[in-house]
A = this chain, B = another copy of it.
Amino acid sequence: MNRRSRLHVPRTPARPGQRPDFSYVALSEAGAVPRPEVAARARDIEELSVELVRVLDDAALAVGPWNPHLDPEELQVGLRHMVLTRLYDDRMQRMQRAGKISFYIRSLGEEAVSVAQCMALSPGDMLFPSYRNQGLHIARGIALVDLMCQVLSNTRDMCKGRQLPVMYHSVPHNLFSISGNLATQFPQAVGWAMAAAIKGEDHLAASWIGEGSSAEADFHHALLFASVYQAPVILNIVNNQWAISTFQGYAGGEQRSFAARGPGYGVPGIRVDGNDFLAVYAVTQWAAQRARTGTGPTLIELVTYRAAAHSTSDDPSRYRAKDDYEHWPLGDPIDRLKRHLIALGEWSEERHQALVSELEALVVSSWQEAVTHGTLTDGPKLDSDLMFEDVFKEMPRHLERQRALMREEKEMPWPP
């Protein structure tokens, strides 16, 4: 093995100490990408998978065929959800640092993905999120207190203390239980959509995974089954450029866009500016119409940036350039929508400040209520008997016995 290795290793543009370099991100002009018929065949619209659908131009105005023409009220609602998502994240991050919760994951810089997509879908559509889609839960209207109680694993935790923080679910809001195992939800969403089709129902399913997770087998199964049965499903790859410390090139992004995987399966792939609220909304609406009109599945790549650490356990300064987010070419989703509304004369710095203050107050009051139901360290605790429930619908005898043993163990004086 003295001969030189010929193995190709993907290049990571900027490591610590190097200057950020986003020249690898293929951009299109706002308004430049045509909007095909909803009924278009996958093979006739393959270009969508390498272009970048954008609506907001540098002047923060909406241009081109993908402009969804939302009225200002809707845009203000979207802005509100995004700001609330970010403020919620900030607070939870600080609470983790304060030792009140064990773990947290922020979606900083990716708020438009969840919020715009959720608003473009209807409430009956079933969502299969990843752990970085809290905007979906907020846009679907779950009370912050409920999210916080889950994160606290307290007595009002919807998961009865069984899941890590952020692994939410909600039956009434049609949000599926989040899994710690990457990508598993992707083909499950396809199955849900197949069932909707079998039952002749109109609802579609949508799921989200990170670009790194697209390497898992589940990604392939999702695209394949969606294609074979033409399931009414929207499969979203959130390309935030990083998988913990690993650059998207290691997931295949160096050779081709992630959206480009779709056409190979006969599924339309469409690449969109994930920080452009209007573009994300429009593309999702288009995909939803396809699903509802029996035109089948769509794969959407949302190009965005993970502005924060992977999670509270992570320190990105070890593996990427410090000031990279300032150089990110697609800007910040909240800032861009805010500027658009201001350009429309429908918003102002003052109103924005007021919104921020109002929502900060909401977050604070919600937290104050949530902690009355307990935190990791103090307050009321969940009954540990709950540990043995829901393994099966009815508790089998061997678990009843183990529950009894656990109680005995807890009562036992220790040290003896």
Contacts and interface: CB of A to CB of B under 8 A. Distances in A.
Interface of A: 1, 3-10, 42-43, 50, 194, 197-201, 215, 217, 219-221, 224, 227-232, 249-252, 254-256, 260-267, 269, 294, 296
B265 A200 contact: no
A183 to B, nearest CB: 11
Given A221-B217, A224-B252, A228-B254, A6 B200 contact: yes
So how many copies of this chain end up in the complex? 2
A263 B252 contact: no
24 contacts: A1-B199, A3-B200, A5-B199, A7-B197, A7-B198, A7-B230, A8-B230, A10-B228, A42-B255, A42-B256, A43-B256, A217-B217, A217-B220, A217-B221, A219-B220, A224-B252, A228-B249, A228-B251, A228-B252, A228-B254, A252-B266, A255-B265, A255-B267, A260-B263
Given A261-B265, A263-B264, A264-B261, A229 B199 contact: no
B229 A7 contact: yes
A1 B200 contact: yes
Given A228-B254, A254-B266, 19 more contacts: A3-B201, A5-B200, A7-B229, A8-B230, A10-B228, A42-B255, A43-B256, A217-B217, A217-B221, A224-B251, A227-B255, A252-B266, A255-B265, A255-B266, A256-B263, A260-B266, A261-B265, A262-B264, A263-B263
Complex A-B, nearest 7 residue pairs according to Cβ-Cβ distance, in ascending order: A255-B266, A3-B200, A217-B217, A264-B264, A220-B220, A8-B230, A256-B266
A285 to B, nearest CB: 20
